[in-house]
A and B are shown apart, each in its own frame.
Chain A
Amino acid sequence: MDVLDRLDEQVLDAVPLAVIGAVLVLVLWLCARILRRAGIPGWLALLVLIPGWNLVAVWALAFLPWPAELRRGRPGRRD
């Protein structure tokens, strides 16, 4: 994807690294908070940084039962 590579280069040239780092830290903090509220260890938020596995992690979080739900006696299955 040549177009996307050029777009990435343009974005990296235009946006300062400090802003990118701040957004990354913000996303990590929010993800860790969500995971802790769901009863999952917060350091698993680091999975978001791995390029292919972040989508896998989001889908797994959406469709697997959460410990916080199970503790309330409400398993995370809808079927």
Chain B
Amino acid sequence: MAEDIAIAYGSPLVVAAVLAIPFWRMLGRVGLNPYWTVLLVAPVIGVVMVLAILAFGPWPLVEGRATIARRPARGRPARATALPAPARPWGEPPRPAPNAAAPQPSAPQPARATGAPRHSWRRAGTVVRRRRD
């Protein structure tokens, strides 16, 4: 009886262990946190959750950061061919209208480092590991 229980509940863990290595690599490859693989310990729901994270999460290392804002909220994802990497992936600052008055310097704007991306899925302080090319 105890062996039966061990086999019955051990086999999902074996499947999870076999799936863990490729999912770990895929998540790290697209720029997501590879520790999402831990979800695989849940027998069926875990695989669905990891697949959903891969399918809907941002892929900064493959698609670039621009796809986070560019991808349509609903429907099919944009094809990878239609996503050329722009020179400034975080987007151009909004231009003032030609007839608009000059903006009044009302309050001191908080200085943001040039080149810092506006959107980031990572928590502050996370070290982004770049792929070696």
Contact = CB atoms under 8 A, between A and B. Distances in A.
Interface string A52-71: 00010011011100111101
A43 B109 CA distance: 50
B62 A37 contact: yes
Interface string B43-75: 010011001101110010111100000000000
A56 to B, nearest CB: 10
Nearest to A75: B133
Given A33-B77, A63-B25, A4 B8 contact: yes
Chain B interface, >50% SS class: helix
Given A4-B8, A37-B77, A76-B29, A66 B62 contact: yes
A5 B84 CA distance: 50
Contacts of A1: 7
Interface string B13-26: 00000110111011
Contact of B48 (A30, A62, A76): A30
A36 B77 contact: yes
Could you say which of B29, B79, B131 has the most chain A C-beta atoms within 10 Å of its C-beta? Answer: B29
Given A3-B4, A4-B8, A55-B19, 7 more contacts: A3-B8, A4-B7, A30-B51, A37-B77, A59-B22, A69-B29, A78-B132
